[in-house]
Structure formats: C-alpha cells, structure tokens
Amino acid sequence: MNLLEGKNCIITGGGRGIGKATAIKFAEEGAKVVIAEFDEVTGQSTANEVGGLFVKTNVAEKRSVDSLFKTTMDAFGRIDVLVNNAGILMDGTLAKMEEDQFDRVIDVNLKGVYLCGRAAATIMKEQGAGVILNASSVVAHNGNFGQTNYVATKAGVIGMTKVWARELGKDGIRVNAVAPGFIKTDMTAQMPENIIKMMGEKVPVKRWGEPEDIANAYCFLASNEASYISGTVLNVDGGVVV
C-alpha cells in the first residue's frame, strides 16, 4: 500500500523546486494534492502533472489563505496534511537591508506559516487528526551571512513547530519541521559555479541535496509510519549541521 493512500494534502509553494518534488512524491504515494502557489503558470503546471488541484494563493494574506482552505474542503471534505513550504529570499547585510526586505520575508516565511497552520489546525481539530509540516532551514541553527530576515523566519518556524506540537497533540495533530541544507533548485542554480562547488565540498557527504531528498522526508513525516513523531526538526543536509 502507498504511504499516503487516501490522504488529502495541501502543499504551499508547490509550483517549483522542493514544493514541486514534494507534490510529485505525494501523488506517487497515493495522495490527492492541492498546489497552493502564487505563480499561476508553475502552480497550474505542477497540478496538471500530478493530477491535483491548483489554488492561486498568497500565504501572507489571510483572505487568500481562507479561500485556499475553503476551496480544498469544498473539493475533498477533509485535510489530512499541510506542508508549509512557501518561502522567499531577499538577502542583504544588516547595514544595507531595507525595512521592506525584512517585512516581506517575515510576511511570507513566518506569518504565512502561521496563517496556514492556524487554518489547518482549526479543521484538523474537528477531524481529530492531521499533520502539519513546516519548512525551516539549517541556517536556523547557526545563522548565515546576509540573511538576517531569512534566518529569523526559519528559527521562528522551529519555535512555532514546537509550540504547536505541544498545543495540538491532544487533538490528534502531529507537527514537525524539516530543515533542508544545500539543495539544488532554480534559485541556487543562479549562484556562481565556484561558490556552488565550494559549498558542496563543505558537505560531509560531498554533494548538494536534490529536491527529492526533502520530498522523501516530508513523505515519511506525513505518513502513518511517523505516527509517534511530533515536535521534532529533521535536518536533511548531508551532515552540514555536524
């Protein structure tokens, strides 16, 4: 039997990169997938590829998030898994980071997780079951040059994950986070080749991760095989944190 057979899953930022790989993996494992994506082109394309439902979503806006969850409930009647994957980067050193750069990353990466998590928890509490998975990052543990805003959000996500695991466990809801390391995506592909090589050499397993590596982690945590795992942060980083 497939790991996610019969489960209805929302994946935010599911149009590309890790989100798309997660959507493909979930569909392969029997899930019905909702792609919540701001980019209509990539969102609809991924939904078509996995036979899922696309809902244009801005996770930083409550009205948009409410519409996402209403549309999903109208279509499927229940929500078993939420993957809070949507996120953005707007890097800059502290002295040069503008206020709008800080605010925008906080709105998408942190407030968006809160809004989607709250909407999911309300529904899952009524069901008496559910799984919420949040995207953190290895930089949440040790910081990263030029990423005050991004690191703040990813560290905040870890904190929220632990709070929600405490609050929602009695309602049959498990909450975990995944912290990816250096992963090959369209965004990282824009980096200079020498930087990509240097960063890869820092990884104990001597390679960058693939989006599928993160998707596999999400799939396991979403499945019943992880039924006694809650409040944890799974580092998927080839040993970088070590």
d(C-alpha 207, C-alpha 196), whole Å: 10
Residue 2 in any domain: the answer is no
For the residues 67-94, what does the mean pLDDT come to?
96
Which CATH number goes with the domain that contains 175? Answer: 3.40.50.720
CB 188 within 8 A of CB 195: no
pLDDT of the residue at 40: 97
Mean pLDDT of the chain: 95
Residue 241: inside a domain: no
Average pLDDT over residues 169-197: 86
Residue 143 confidence (pLDDT) above 80: yes
Q: Is there a domain that residue 242 lies in?
A: no
Q: What is the mean pLDDT of residues 210-228?
A: 98
Which of 8, 13, 45 has its CA nearest to residue 26? 8
- Of residues 114, 150, 218, 228, which has the active-site annotation? 150
Share of the chain above pLDDT 70, in %: 98
Domain enclosing residue 226, as ranges: 8-236
Measure the CA–CA gap between 58 and 45, rounded to whole angstroms: 18
Number of separate domains in the chain? 1
Residue at 52 is within a domain: yes
Over 90: is that where the pLDDT of 117 sits? yes
> Does residue 150 carry a catalytic annotation?
yes
What is residue 169's predicted lDDT score, i.e. its pLDDT? 98
pLDDT of residue 241: 79
Structural domain includes residue 142? yes
Amino acid at site 67? S
Name the band, by pLDDT with cuts 50, 70 and 90, for residue 201: confident
CB-based contacts of 55: which residues, under 8 Å, 6+ apart?
34, 35, 36, 37, 43, 67, 68, 71, 72
